[in-house]
A and B are shown apart, each in its own frame.
Chain A
């Protein structure tokens, strides 16, 4: 399951963002009539097709795996949190239909309908992502039912869906998807631009991708702040693990770096910035921040993992934000054309950082909730399937996903190289 998520989340992010890039390229093509934008839209559409297909099947795998691996969880959760999934189904339907029209209908429908179908793919993708995240947020902040003697009663799916964590998680994840995918796309095109200097196709690709990426990366810290305050309130244990705060403190210092030792309950090395944690968590320099000591040790998440994942996420986010600010300065203040080698090289290096941040963030939210599958209601070990030997299908799925990742990379490489061999206007500056 974990592996499926780690895998699916990448494809889901790309599936949420790429259609928007594709749509903007298509829109620019219609507005300006410059063929380079049409080439771009077509090239990205092929990418979307590949990623969407893999994302769709890995999403199907998840909808079954929920039951295959966690039948006890689904038995209770199905009725409570199934609603966003039923909406997600609709959104996904529209996305698949619109994508079919966009990809294969270029010569069959009018330009306007074609453009609209691209927009529908983008909107439906984001909407379906938000529904799924709402369901995940419910596991962190269960609501909409009363838990009596191991049974859920007084079920209210609307309240469950709009639980206290859904908004901040949906916001944070959507922005993350845009930042991660845009930076990855920009990185790939930067790599190609290094080889084909001064190429219009890649220059425009980088510009469109970074426009999305920059806005997302600069907005992300704000949504991160909302998230932190929300976690501080709803899941203080998770926050304490993220910060490796073993003792409840007032005022509380923000920890940067450091190696936590769960046995001795102390942190080696690391930089402590006094007061800052209280401010970030509760908006008050002198606020008390709950430490791990308030939670029984048996209910601690693996502190080291959560702490490192959190630090990684923040660091990667900062990298992207810094680059974005640079990009905006160049673009609007200095009016520079951004095809200097050092800049392209920087973008190439930044290709994976967004996705590293996404995976790290996912570890923070999921591992940080352990040992619970539904926070303070049901433990993960009580939800697992009674079938022995589930590790074997798990190994198999892992292998398959590795193979798929490899093939997708291979295919994308071929697609990208193909752009250069087949596009006629490729080296003309129009």
Chain B
């Protein structure tokens, strides 16, 4: 029962990264490509970003319903980064919508664009900072200490920042790959292809830095990865598909590249889950909030399972349909062949 809830939580996180993450990534890509990308990016994310965003809500709801102690621990000690994430969510969503539905192209259009891009960058960064801080385990076990010790030190450190950069690059890279399939002409295809290559190189470097910095903080990611078969497997698969991905981009097989990028991202998350499971939060005194010791009473969990099962039956077909209508059609090759 608990395992099922955790599985759905994992799926929600995965989908949020794969889809919602890419929507943020699109804003990051726009920072790089500027005006050239706007049209493609706006068209690509307008129909889906709100549905994609709901995966985050689902995750939050599962946390506070099923694991209230985890939720309140996070919201207490990570008040500041979470608040920044919220600001990012507010500004990204509203600025994008305002830009899209602005009937006049005056200066306000420029401001909305800038706001959209900057918040698309800040939100994933602080999301990554928060996730890193969760792994780092500097959350005080008791409310005892200065403001800095309690509410800033747990997340303001090199390790959290490294994971923040990693997540930002991951989102940007995903978006660049997806946008290959949205490109309307050859020129913008080349732009996104180039951006995706740059982001990939940066992503690999920042991924390695996460491991290196983890050693400085005695988190021992290397040995923890080596001790988990699932983690080793995911690193292996993620590496193995890289050549395929290159081939996919070269041959403009956009469905393949999207799929492979999804596989790689899934591997990264699986590896992380594998070394984290079953701990949800590490506290500074060495104790842990695990899936078992932080969950809600049995009856609540049972009802949550029912809610999730029926929710899944409603959401997945609808979600599939949404993507079928807007994303599966191969406008990609259609458009490029025209030229």
Q: Which of B48, B64, B300 has a CB less than 8 Å from the CB of A66? A: B64
Contact A85 B89 (CB under 8 A): no
The residue on B at minimum CB distance from A56 is B50
User: Which B residues are in CB contact (< 8 Å) with A93?
Assistant: 51, 54, 58, 311, 314-315, 318-319
The residue on B at minimum CB distance from A73 is B72
Contact A57 B94 (CB under 8 A): yes
Q: Which of B47, B58, B97, B303 has a CB less than 8 Å from the CB of A83? A: B303
User: Which A residues are in CB contact (< 8 Å) with B46?
Assistant: 103-104
Q: Mark B47-77, 1 if CB is under 8 A from A, else 0.
A: 1101101101110111011101101101110
The residue on A at minimum CB distance from B296 is A79
User: Which B residues are in CB contact (< 8 Å) with A72?
Assistant: 72
Q: Which of A56, A98, A108, A109 has a CB less than 8 Å from the CB of B53? A: A56
Known A64-B82, A74-B75, A75-B68: A82·B304 in contact at CB below 8 Å: yes
Contact B75 A71 (CB under 8 A): yes
Docked Cα-Cα span, A366 to B76, in Å, equals: 24
User: Which B residues are in CB contact (< 8 Å) with A85?
Assistant: 61, 64-65
Contact B299 A90 (CB under 8 A): no
A391 within 8 A of B: no
A58 within 8 A of B: yes
Contact B304 A53 (CB under 8 A): no
Contact A82 B64 (CB under 8 A): yes
A404 within 8 A of B: yes
Within 8 A of B (CB), among A386-406: 386-390, 393, 396, 400, 404
Contact B86 A105 (CB under 8 A): no
Docked Cα-Cα span, A82 to B62, in Å, equals: 8
Contact A68 B83 (CB under 8 A): yes
Known A74-B72, A100-B47, A101-B325: A407·B101 in contact at CB below 8 Å: no
Contact B54 A385 (CB under 8 A): no
The residue on B at minimum CB distance from A86 is B307
B308 within 8 A of A: yes
User: Which A residues are in CB contact (< 8 Å) with B103?
Assistant: 414-415, 417-418
Q: Which of A49, A60, A68, A88 has a CB less than 8 Å from the CB of B79? A: A68
Contact B71 A67 (CB under 8 A): yes
Contact B318 A97 (CB under 8 A): yes
B156 within 8 A of A: no
A215 within 8 A of B: no
A283 within 8 A of B: no
Contact A78 B89 (CB under 8 A): no
Contact A89 B76 (CB under 8 A): no
A305 within 8 A of B: no
Contact B93 A108 (CB under 8 A): no
The residue on B at minimum CB distance from A59 is B57
The residue on B at minimum CB distance from A47 is B101
User: Which A residues are in CB contact (< 8 Å) with B315?
Assistant: 90, 93-94, 97
User: Which A residues are in CB contact (< 8 Å) with B66?
Assistant: 82
A355 within 8 A of B: no
Q: Chain B nearest CB: distance from A51 CB in Å?
A: 9
Docked Cα-Cα span, A387 to B299, in Å, equals: 32
Known A71-B75, A82-B296, A83-B304: A386·B143 in contact at CB below 8 Å: yes
Docked Cα-Cα span, A179 to B93, in Å, equals: 28
Contact B304 A64 (CB under 8 A): no
A265 within 8 A of B: no
A158 within 8 A of B: yes
User: Which A residues are in CB contact (< 8 Å) with B277?
Assistant: none
Contact A74 B71 (CB under 8 A): yes
Q: Chain B nearest CB: distance from A155 CB in Å?
A: 5
Contact B61 A388 (CB under 8 A): no
User: Which A residues are in CB contact (< 8 Å) with B300?
Assistant: 79-80, 82-83, 155, 157
Contact A83 B57 (CB under 8 A): no
Q: Chain B nearest CB: distance from A395 CB in Å?
A: 12
A376 within 8 A of B: no
Contact B65 A79 (CB under 8 A): yes
B297 within 8 A of A: yes
Q: Chain A nearest CB: distance from B146 CB in Å?
A: 10
Docked Cα-Cα span, A77 to B69, in Å, equals: 11
SS class, residues of chain A in contact with chain B: helix
B98 within 8 A of A: yes
Q: Which of A50, A54, A75, A155 has a CB less than 8 Å from the CB of B72? A: A75
User: Which B residues are in CB contact (< 8 Å) with A90?
Assistant: 307, 310-311, 314-315
B208 within 8 A of A: no
Contact B308 A86 (CB under 8 A): yes
Within 8 A of B (CB), among A373-390: 385-390
A99 within 8 A of B: yes
Q: Chain A nearest CB: distance from B282 CB in Å?
A: 19
Contact B90 A74 (CB under 8 A): no
User: Which B residues are in CB contact (< 8 Å) with A88?
Assistant: 61
Q: Chain B nearest CB: distance from A167 CB in Å?
A: 20
A52 within 8 A of B: yes
Docked Cα-Cα span, A393 to B84, in Å, equals: 10
Docked Cα-Cα span, A90 to B54, in Å, equals: 9
Q: Which of A75, A78, A99, A389 has a CB less than 8 Å from the CB of B65? A: A78
Q: Chain A nearest CB: distance from B16 CB in Å?
A: 12
A269 within 8 A of B: no
Known A53-B94, A74-B72, A98-B318: A158·B303 in contact at CB below 8 Å: yes
Counting chain B CB atoms within 10 Å of each CB, the highest count among A53, A83, A97, A109 belongs to A97
Contact B75 A64 (CB under 8 A): yes
A61 within 8 A of B: yes
User: Which A residues are in CB contact (< 8 Å) with B102?
Assistant: 411, 414
User: Which B residues are in CB contact (< 8 Å) with A97?
Assistant: 51, 315, 318-319, 321-322
Docked Cα-Cα span, A68 to B74, in Å, equals: 9
Q: Mark B269-302, 1 if CB is under 8 A from A, else 0.
A: 0000000000000000000000000001101100
Q: Which of B97, B104, B308 has a CB less than 8 Å from the CB of A54? A: B97
B151 within 8 A of A: yes
A336 within 8 A of B: no
Task: Show 16 residue pairs from A and B whose CB-CB distance is below 8 angstroms, ordered by the A residue.
Answer: A53-B96, A54-B93, A58-B90, A61-B90, A64-B82, A67-B76, A75-B68, A90-B314, A93-B54, A93-B314, A100-B322, A101-B321, A101-B322, A103-B46, A386-B76, A415-B101
Across the A-B interface, the 10 shortest Cβ-Cβ residue pairs: A82-B65, A78-B68, A67-B75, A79-B296, A53-B97, A90-B311, A104-B47, A71-B72, A418-B103, A86-B307
Q: A56-B93, A61-B89, A404-B90 are in contact. List 16 more A-B contacts (CB 8 A).
A: A50-B98, A60-B53, A64-B86, A67-B64, A79-B297, A82-B66, A83-B303, A86-B65, A93-B311, A103-B46, A104-B46, A104-B326, A108-B325, A109-B325, A390-B79, A414-B102
Partner-A contacts on B (CB < 8 A): 46-48, 50-51, 53-54, 56-58, 60-62, 64-66, 68-69, 71-72, 74-76, 79, 82-83, 85-87, 89-90, 93-94, 96-98, 100-104, 143, 147, 150-151, 296-297, 299-300, 303-304, 307-308, 310-311, 314-315, 318-319, 321-322, 325-326
